[in-house]
Amino acid sequence: MVPKIIMSVVFYIFLSIQLHTSMAQTNWIRAGFYMYNQYEFPISEINFALFTHIICEYAAVNSTSYQLSLSPADEQHFPEFTHTIKQNNPSVATMLSIHINGDATYSTMVSTSSNRKSFIDSSIKIARRYGFEGLDFSWQFPATSIDMFNMGILFKEWKAAIDLEATDSSRSALILTAKVYNTPKIYSTSYPIESIQQHLDWVHFFVDYIKNDISWDRHTSTEASLYNPYDFDNADCGIREWIDGGLSANKMVLTLPFYGFAWRLENPMDNGIGAPAKVQLNLCGELLDKGNNLVLLQ
């Protein structure tokens, strides 16, 4: 895990330029992630004027019940998060990100309707209980066509459950978003674009897509470049693929990582992007603190 980066690893700029609306009328989404475990940046010091949505990272999922699994710390932090934000700026929407890292729980969760129902019902209940106005789904990464297909069903059922709950409770429907890879095609399969288009409010991209390049740690690079002369894995190519696949631009939020990696150059004179270098790890084998910028070390 990356140590202590100041709040907001990422924030987003909505790409939406809707037909028939001018730029002035466009509602840009400016969302930021806030992670309790890593950042020692008090919520009350967030400059709320910068954001339309703040997403709390994250709730985990129980690998047998498929319900959200909150630690005692989560139970303390989540209400503090939503309460502080609403008190400081009621117009900023609060969302809860749900994620699992690197195991098969999501594959099994999405694979049956009863598992999906446990997950969905629990997510809505937890969101309401702690005062969140939306849910963000983060699966890093669905690997098979079956996972992708089932994820499409999950989104459909999730949205239906959210709408039903909103009607029953006479409240605004929870916002539903997901983090996706920066291109729709991964591991020879593709995200369920049609379901995303129909059922999600928007998607945003995982950052660090340089890591898709197997030699990423051996030459200086950028985290998530808009254009990249060295590689097709960049935001521009990815967004085009999503649009070609049928996702509207107004369902996409561009992700900007607010950090960089530290590198040790092989030759100090050769210090541009793509220069031979080693990414720096700390004693625990973690990526060295990156501060706010890409740091080039000699």
Ligand X SMILES: *[C@@H]1O[C@H](CO)[C@@H](O)[C@H](O)[C@H]1NC(C)=O
Under the rule (CB under 6 A), what is the footprint of ligand X? 62, 64-65, 69
Task: Give least dist CB 63 to ligand X, A.
Answer: 7
* Sequence-separated (6 or more) residues with CB below 8 Å from residue 21: none
User: CB of residue 62 vs ligand X: minimum separation in angstroms?
Assistant: 4
Kind of pairing, strands 295-297 and 262-265? parallel
Q: Name the residue nearer to ligand X (CB basis): 101 or 248.
A: 101
The nearer residue to ligand X, 114 or 188, going by C-beta atoms, is: 114
Token pair recorded at residue 134 = 């939306």
CB of 257 to ligand X, least distance (A): 31
Which is nearer to ligand X, 12 or 130 (by Cβ)? 130
Two structure tokens written together for 42: 């008090």
Q: Please say whether the beta carbons of 273 and 221 come within 8 A.
A: yes
Q: What whole-number distance in Å separates Cα of residue 154 and Cα of residue 66?
A: 13
Nearer to ligand X, 26 or 69 (CB): 69
**Between 112 and 282, CB nearer to ligand X:** 112
- At residue 264, what is the residue type? R
In whole angstroms, the minimum distance from the beta carbon of 108 to ligand X comes to 13
Least distance (Å) between residue 67 CB and ligand X: 7
Q: Distance between CA 148 and CA 165 in Å, rounded?
A: 26
Spatial contact of 134 and 94, defined as CB atoms under 8 Å apart: yes
> SS3 of 93, please?
strand
